[in-house]
Amino acid sequence: MRKRNVLLLVLFSLLIFVGGCGHKTTSDKKIITTTVNTYTEPLKSVVGDKYHVESIIKSVNVDPHSFSPSSNDAKQVADSRLIVASGLGYDDWVEKIVTANSQDKNLIDFSRDVLHKQDGDNEHVWFGVKNVQKLSQAVAQHMSQVDPKNKAYYQANFKKYKLKLDGLVKREAKLKQQTAGKKAYVTEPLPYYLLKDLGISIANPHFAKAVEEDTDPSIEDIKNMEDGLRHHKVSFLVVNKQVTSGIITKMTNLAKKNKVPIIYFTETLPSDLGYYEWMNGNLSQIERIVKE
């Protein structure tokens, strides 16, 4: 995780006061909240027209690591029948709001509650398609308890969406026949689960972790990565478009100079894409490179 702004704690205190003081969750609210728009489609696919799904972070122009929620965001969380968060510190700001408004029973922590991940595990869990299938199932189960009269509806919607995502799982399996055993550099460990599913290893884990934690990579890691790009020791470089720095620009330019293919991913989704289309596009980028 990147370092948070030193004023964040003060902001949280104010938000919790606004969201929690004198405010009780209203059970008649028909809203479901997700911290990032990555989960909007999976949630909507399950709840259909029974609830309105609203993400707090809606744009690729917002860095979720350093995001500061507003008082309106806090009220939305307080009014929600379900809140979905990534967990593992990715969006821990929402946990404080949830606790302040006694919404713990309505929170699904994707990483811990669904995938049983622990601190230190890679936090970008949505890059695993099978992970998102498990999240959709957890949402269907939760809503079946919250709204039992529509249990059959939620379960049927989940099965339909799972079949849709099965298309991506099958595409990954087919692509893995060409990608298994390959190596890649990443500017940070964003696509860990996707690359793992494709049998691709990350060749610069120390460099990537340093960038993610907003610290300077070691001289040795930088030299190793520069040498690898110059001598084509990896099949491609993956760049997170939402994070820029001098060292990332340097590595990107070096990859271009040495004709190492570059893949550009985002953490959150462009506002005009759903999860399926977004992940399908990620696979298409990798597929085009391995076929060249």
Give residue-wise pLDDT tens across range 129-147. 999 999 999 999 999 999 9
Q: Are residues 158 and 283 in the same domain?
A: no
| 241 pLDDT above the threshold of 60 | yes
The pTM score is: 0.89
- Split into its structural domains, the chain has a count of 2
Q: Are residues 45 and 156 in the same domain?
A: yes
What range defines the domain where residue 259 resides?
Answer: 175-289
Give 189 or 4, the one with higher predicted confidence.
189
Establish if 138 belongs to a structural domain: yes
Q: Mean pLDDT across the stretch 148-161? A: 98
Last residue of a domain, one of 147, 167, 187: 167
Establish if 227 belongs to a structural domain: yes
Q: Are residues 82 and 156 in the same domain?
A: yes
Q: What pLDDT sits at residue 232?
A: 97
Establish if 14 belongs to a structural domain: no
The rounded percent of the chain whose pLDDT value lies above 70 is: 90
Q: What pLDDT sits at residue 66?
A: 78
Q: How confident is the model at residue 4 (pLDDT cuts 50, 70, 90)?
A: very low
Q: What pLDDT sits at residue 131?
A: 98
Q: What pLDDT sits at residue 61?
A: 82
Establish if 2 belongs to a structural domain: no
Q: Are residues 180 and 153 in the same domain?
A: no
Q: What pLDDT sits at residue 189?
A: 94
Q: Are residues 71 and 198 in the same domain?
A: no
Establish if 8 belongs to a structural domain: no
pLDDT tens digit sequence for 266-276: 988 988 899 99
| 65 pLDDT above the threshold of 80 | no
Q: Are residues 118 and 208 in the same domain?
A: no
Establish if 144 belongs to a structural domain: yes
Q: For residue 154, give the amino acid letter.
A: Y
Q: Are residues 251 and 148 in the same domain?
A: no
Last residue of a domain, one of 167, 196, 214: 167
Establish if 135 belongs to a structural domain: yes
pLDDT tens digit sequence for 173-230: 999 999 999 999 999 999 999 999 999 999 999 999 999 888 999 999 999 999 999 9
Task: Give 261's Cβ-side CA count (13 Å radius).
Answer: 14
Q: Mean pLDDT across the stretch 33-47? A: 97
Question: Could you tell me if 202 and 235 are in contact, meaning their C-beta atoms sit under 8 angstroms apart?
Answer: no
Q: What pLDDT sits at residue 7?
A: 40
Task: Tokens for 165, please give them.
Answer: 């995502």
Give 61 or 265, the one with higher predicted confidence.
265
Nearest Cα neighbor of 272 from 22, 37, 35 is: 37
Q: Are residues 146 and 187 in the same domain?
A: no
| 13 pLDDT above the threshold of 50 | no
Give 280 or 10, the one with higher predicted confidence.
280
Q: What is the mean pLDDT of the chain?
A: 90
Q: Are residues 140 and 186 in the same domain?
A: no
Last residue of a domain, one of 109, 139, 167: 167
| 19 pLDDT above the threshold of 70 | no
Q: Are residues 105 and 193 in the same domain?
A: no
| Per-position b or e across 183-209, b if 16+ CB within 10 A of its CB | ebbbbbbbbbbbbebbebebbbeebbb
| DSSP characters over 178-212 | HHTT-EEEESSSTTHHHHHHTTPEES-HHHHHHHH
Nearest Cα neighbor of 50 from 142, 135, 113, 165 is: 142
- Location of structure tokens 């491609």: 236
Q: Are residues 60 and 83 in the same domain?
A: yes
Identify the CATH number of the domain in which residue 53 sits.
Answer: 3.40.50.1980
Q: Are residues 224 and 145 in the same domain?
A: no
Q: What pLDDT sits at residue 283?
A: 98
